[in-house]
């Protein structure tokens, strides 16, 4: 199995993500993507292991003659933005995103987007080569220096996107003790908002711990208790967003995309009238977008699949229920800060409260069962199980849908049934789960 997953290399530091691996990756990126005189931007989130891994990457890059522009602690979208600048060959972000602090990750980006599968295969091959890696002579080595100017350029792009939408807004933000801590509070205050800040004191070990987009409960409580207009929770590297409306009710990626899609449809700014989501997005989102004159294309789970479909279909809005949302007319990656800005612009344009807009995005009842099976990748080969899925799909018709997919990390298959009748979908999901455990073990 290769080291690169759907979002770069990620795992526990010390066992799966090591100094040796970081040096090897740095050397591979230098050899394959940059080389003597080339430039690579480097960034990290505040995990304790980030300094070590960043130094190792820089060493590997410099050994190939590649110059390193170290941005320090930045969000992943900022690193991606910097990688798209002229005369930058690539970027490497040291972050495990929403994972706990003991994990870390190494993500390679080229030209403002994730390295494609072909590049990752080549990097994998170079990483795997045994033996000493070539280090150039002293006068040929790359230089490593800090460069904050690219962070300023990214920040200016957000200010331009926001306009005056935040003037007078009373809001709370949860920085997840992560990268957002370094930019979000000052950014939103500079836009004219009154900002209450939570979890903005990273110490290297508390990133995502009981906070951020995976644990937004404290944010919701704060917004409701203080009578604020809105709240935003980011994840560790700030590429995801979960919001809270003025009542403290959480607003997920589906609702955020729905609000922004309807706003853009009404104003003629949703290119090709198209929204791209994954198979996990709720059917209620598709219904409301379709009824408003738009259409929705679904992809497999993963933001890479979403972005590829957006390029293929020439769409400008897409994302995942988890809050990883891409506004392709402004960015080539999911960006929690930009998503917050776009959501506020849509709310302000409507003249209504966020809760009122959310109420127009229906949510169909949905049951998800994770069935423990020994043969998670073999379910398509079991004719009896496949036939049961087909019968369930026919039974639901246009009233809902059935989705079965293997877990990417556990010996399980995930069975999701969605429809108007909560009792019916629960019955179907349990029948399929029972059959799966009987047939696939």
Contact 199, 238 (CB under 8 A): no
- Show the tokens assigned to 297: 């294309």
- Residue 3 three-state SS: coil
Residue of 363, 365, 379 lying closest to 412 (CA atoms): 379
Q: Name the burial class of residue 291, with classes exposed (0-12), middle (13-18) and buried (19+) by CB atoms within 10 angstroms of its CB.
A: exposed
Do the beta carbons of residue 239 and residue 335 sit within 8 Å? yes
Q: 230: helix, coil or strand?
A: strand
Locus of tokens 């789970």: 301
Which of 83, 97, 181, 213 is the catalytic position? 97
**Token pair 């990268």 in the structure block, residue:** 179
Please answer whether residues 120 and 108 qualify as being in contact, where contact means their C-beta atoms are separated by less than 8 angstroms.
yes
- The set of residues, in sequence order, having a beta carbon less than 8 Å from that of 185 and lying 6+ positions away, is 173, 175, 195, 197, 200
Which stretches of 193-335 are DSSP H helices?
A: 217-226, 253-267, 283-291, 303-313
Strands in 400-406's sheet, in edge-to-edge order, are 366-372, 412-419, 400-406
95 flagged as catalytic: no
Length of the chain: 441
**Nearest alpha carbon to residue 329 among 314, 309, 350, 319:** 314
Of 100, 7, 6, 12, nearest in space to 53 by CA = 12
Q: What is the distance between the alpha carbons of residues 306 and 325, in angstroms, rounded to a whole number? A: 9
Q: Which residues are catalytic?
A: 97
């Amino acid at each position: 199995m290769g080291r690169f997953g759907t979002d770069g290399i990620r795992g526990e530091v010390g066992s799966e993500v090591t100094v040796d691996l970081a040096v090897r990756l740095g050397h591979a990126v230098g050899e394959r993507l940059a080389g003597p005189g080339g430039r690579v931007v480097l960034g990290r989130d505040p995990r304790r292991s980030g300094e070590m891994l960043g130094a190792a990457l820089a060493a590997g890059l410099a050994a190939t003659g590649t110059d390193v522009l170290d941005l320090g602690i930045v969000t992943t979208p900022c690193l991606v933005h910097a990688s798209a600048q002229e005369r930058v060959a690539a970027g490497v972000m040291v972050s495990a995103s929403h994972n706990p602090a003991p994990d870390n990750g190494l993500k390679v980006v080229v030209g403002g987007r994730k390295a494609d599968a072909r590049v990752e295969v080549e990097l994998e091959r170079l990483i795997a080569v045994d033996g000493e890696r070539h280090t150039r002579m002293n006068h040929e080595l790359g230089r490593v220096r800090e460069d904050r100017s690219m962070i300023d350029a990214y920040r200016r792009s957000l200010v331009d996107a926001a306009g005056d939408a935040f003037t007078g807004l009373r809001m709370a933000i949860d920085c997840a003790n992560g990268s957002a801590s370094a930019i979000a509070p000052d950014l939103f205050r500079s836009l004219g908002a009154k900002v209450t800040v939570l979890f903005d004191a990273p110490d290297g070990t508390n990133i995502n711990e009981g906070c951020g987009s995976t644990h937004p409960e404290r944010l919701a409580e704060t917004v409701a208790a203080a009578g604020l207009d809105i709240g935003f929770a980011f994840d560790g590297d700030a590429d995801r967003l979960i919001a809270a409306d003025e009542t403290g009710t959480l607003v997920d990626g589906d609702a955020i995309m729905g609000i922004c899609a309807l706003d853009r449809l009404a104003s003629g700014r949703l290119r090709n009238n198209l929204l791209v989501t994954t198979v996990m997005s709720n059917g209620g989102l598709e219904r409301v977008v379709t009824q408003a004159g738009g259409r929705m294309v679904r992809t497999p789970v993963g933001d890479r699949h979403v972005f590829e479909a957006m390029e293929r279909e020439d769409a400008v809005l897409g994302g995942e229920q988890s809050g990883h949302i891409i506004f392709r007319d402004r960015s080539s990656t999911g960006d929690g800060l930009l998503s917050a800005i776009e959501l506020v612009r849509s709310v302000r344009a409507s003249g209504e409260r966020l809760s009122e807009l959310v109420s127009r995005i229906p949510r169909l009842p949905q049951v998800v069962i994770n069935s423990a099976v020994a043969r998670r990748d073999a379910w398509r080969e079991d004719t009896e199980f496949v036939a049961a899925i087909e019968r369930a799909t026919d039974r639901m018709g246009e009233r809902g849908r059935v989705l079965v997919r293997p877990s990417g990390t556990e010996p399980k298959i995930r069975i999701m049934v969605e429809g108007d009748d909560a009792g019916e979908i629960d019955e179907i999901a349990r029948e399929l789960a029972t059959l799966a455990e009987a047939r696939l073990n």
